[in-house]
Structure 1
Amino acid sequence: MSIETIERYRRALETRDVELGLSAYAPDAVVRSPLTSRVRFTGHAELRPLLEVAFSHLRDVRFSTDTGDSSTRVVVYSARIGDEEVEEAAVLKLDEDGLIAEATLFVRPLPGLVALMDAFGPDIARRNGRTFAARFLSVATKPLLAMVRSGDRRAVPLAGPRP
């Protein structure tokens, strides 16, 4: 049943329980990255390290929205990755057993998305045995994160409505 699946998904994120999280996904489920259309994780063998990394970085998860029907749900939550606040919307397509068959993730604001890339990318690469990629991502994301944080604090207010 979809309500039970979504409840397991929610509880897994809040408690950082990888096994509970995997139990919400079909064995051949696909998770689409919020960073790029070129990356997706398929099946429990690829989802396990993704959940382990996500649960090691996400803090203070608070769900705000759950809407949809028995075949498609949209859930929204906010959390922290380090010092950055993030909000994620997940479009969850459920199979005939009510398990998540496909999850497409969307993350905002931009500093939160880049913080996610900075935290998750190197860890996922390392868990996949790609040590060079992990080192590269760790170094490459730092200047981008600094630029985005600075722009969010200094440049974005210049373009917004006047107080």
Structure 2
Amino acid sequence: MTNATTERYRRAMLTGDVDLAMSNFAENAVLHSPLTRRVRFTGHAELRPLIEVAYKHLKDVDFHVDIGDEKTRLLVYRGKIRNEELEEAALLHLDDAGKITEATLFVRPLPGIVELMSAFGPDIARRNGRSGAARLLSVLTKPLLSMVKSGDKFAVPLAGPKR
């Protein structure tokens, strides 16, 4: 069962419509990063650049869960970022008008979340006028991305069931 807010949320992401996405959020909405507890985006001025970056990078989005009630919803989709598969769950808290007041994002698997960090971090820093931070984030995420991808391909299967 979907509700009007989650239907607009899904349609906005599938069509890349940032204005439609923004219409779902209360003016003082808070979005909690899936990367760290230290980062959150508060209000439309901080949410809009994040959503613009997300819609630029996320591809092949396919929603497969939309559950909850009028106050709390959980949306889950699968998609790709730079050809790396990911799955994201968005826990949404809604006000009486159906606007999102709080969103907490969860992303898996690890290669997908590191690819997300590698793509989003520099772009968000640039949009916030922090070009030096954008360059630093680009440099810092490359070795982590390489380690995670090679670990996922070669090391993780060693610990799993024998096939």
| SS across alignment from 2:65 | strand
Q: Deviations over 1:37-81 (max 9, x none)?
A: 000001111111001000000001100001111100011001110
User: What corresponds to 2:108 in structure 1?
Assistant: 108
One-letter amino acid of the counterpart of residue 15, structure 1: T
| SS across alignment from 1:158 | helix
| SS across alignment from 1:113 | helix
CA distance in 2, matches of 1:72, 1:98: 10
User: What corresponds to 1:10 in structure 2?
Assistant: 10
TM-score (norm 2): 0.98
User: What corresponds to 2:97 in structure 1?
Assistant: 97
Report deviation, 1:27: 1.0
Aligned-residue CA RMSD (Å): 0.8
CA distance in 2, matches of 1:21, 1:138: 27
User: What corresponds to 1:151 in structure 2?
Assistant: 151
CA distance in 1, matches of 2:15, 2:143: 32
Query: Which stretches in structure 2 are left out of the alignment for 5+ residues?
Result: none
| SS across alignment from 1:162 | coil
Pairing of 1:21-40 with structure 2 (within 5 A): 21-40=21-40
Report deviation, 1:162: 1.1
Question: Alignment identity in percent?
Answer: 67
CA distance in 1, matches of 2:125, 2:95: 29
The answer on 1:117 being equivalent to 2:148 is no
One-letter amino acid of the counterpart of residue 68, structure 2: G
Moved over 6 A (4+): none
| SS across alignment from 1:26 | strand
